[in-house]
Amino acid sequence: MMQTMMNVLVAATMAAGAPGAGVGKELAGIVAGQGATAALARVTDERGTWTGAAGVRDVERGGRPSPGSYFRIGSVTKTFVATVVLQLVDEGKLKLDDPIGDHLPGLVPGGDRITVRGLLDHTSHLYDYMSEPGYSTNRWRGEARFRSYRPGELLKVAFAKKLPDDGKWHYSNTNYVVLGLLVEKLTGHTYGEEVARRILRPLGLRHTLVPGDRAGLPSPHAKGYEPMPGLVDATRMNPSLDWAAGEMISTAADLERFMSALLGGRLTSAASLKAMRTTVETGAGFRYGLGLQAYALPCGTVWGHSGELIGYLTFAFRSDSGKSLTLSLNPSTRNPSTAEIMGMAVKVFCGTAG
């Protein structure tokens, strides 16, 4: 039934000659190859904007997904949090090379040696609490997915273990839980309130939210699934397990506007944006700055962030020329491959997708 549904309902909206129109075929191909049940894309360049969608909203009931659908953005949340932290730097409330222990005394083991910069670019070497069984929102957790978590609980799990002293770069969600608490300490407001006050409202991002303990997504949205091995509906979940590391919900249009404003210098000082774009090697297929990933393409570097939360994959890319590609994919029996995703990016940014 699943294969028949995919064969019948694979579709993409596209306009001939629009920027990135060829991406629609790529989306449909990923769905047909069971890399996604639904796939959305938004492409903008000097010619204008193209949006497309492929697949089904619901594998049982069908329905075409809307290019304007809401989706969980996962770790793209980190870019919002990093932006707020850099704004606080601009306001003189902290410095990037301040030890985190100066601002949150006694919270982080070794906090006198771990800097704010080290948290932002994941060079802190703090253990990732999501590495522990039952603590990752990228995996099926049964009824536990509706449980509410507080940041202190997550840090207790993280600080109970240490990473091996291997000198390698380690991505850790723990860093951004600490940064969320830093924002709250310096402002007296929740990190979500600061994201809304400093970014969402000024930019008019009316379809971006910090959900807290709310389990659902606004409509319209495509359902997210997890193979168990059959597809299980994983759409509803309490995302507080991700908190400032990945709980936010948005749309392709809002993410594009955010990345354009950030990388266009509208949200921070030039010095802070330069710091955000100063990267370290990761060995993970991209370089990492302060809440930003840098991907090297044949025609140059694109900036942005990727995100994953069970049932949803997000990629928000922008080049310095102003081109952008925003993707949301709901994995099916497999995740879309790196080659499929970066192949679309090459077509958009290197001039082969028009």
The position carrying tokens 């082969």 is 352
Cα end-to-end distance, the chain, whole Å: 35
Q: How far apart are CA 147 and CA 308, in angstroms?
A: 19
By residue count, the chain amounts to: 354
Q: What would the two tokens of residue 84 be?
A: 């707020």
Is there a contact between 200 and 251 (Cβ–Cβ < 8 Å)?
A: no
How many C-beta atoms lie closer than 10 Å to residue 188's C-beta? 9
Active-site residue (options: 75, 136, 250, 319): 75
The position carrying tokens 């600080």 is 159
How many C-beta atoms lie closer than 10 Å to residue 353's C-beta? 24
Q: How far apart are CA 166 and CA 261, in angstroms?
A: 37
- To the query of whether residue 66 is one of the catalytic residues in this protein, the response is no
**Residue 291 DSSP one-character state:** S
Q: What residues act catalytically?
A: 75
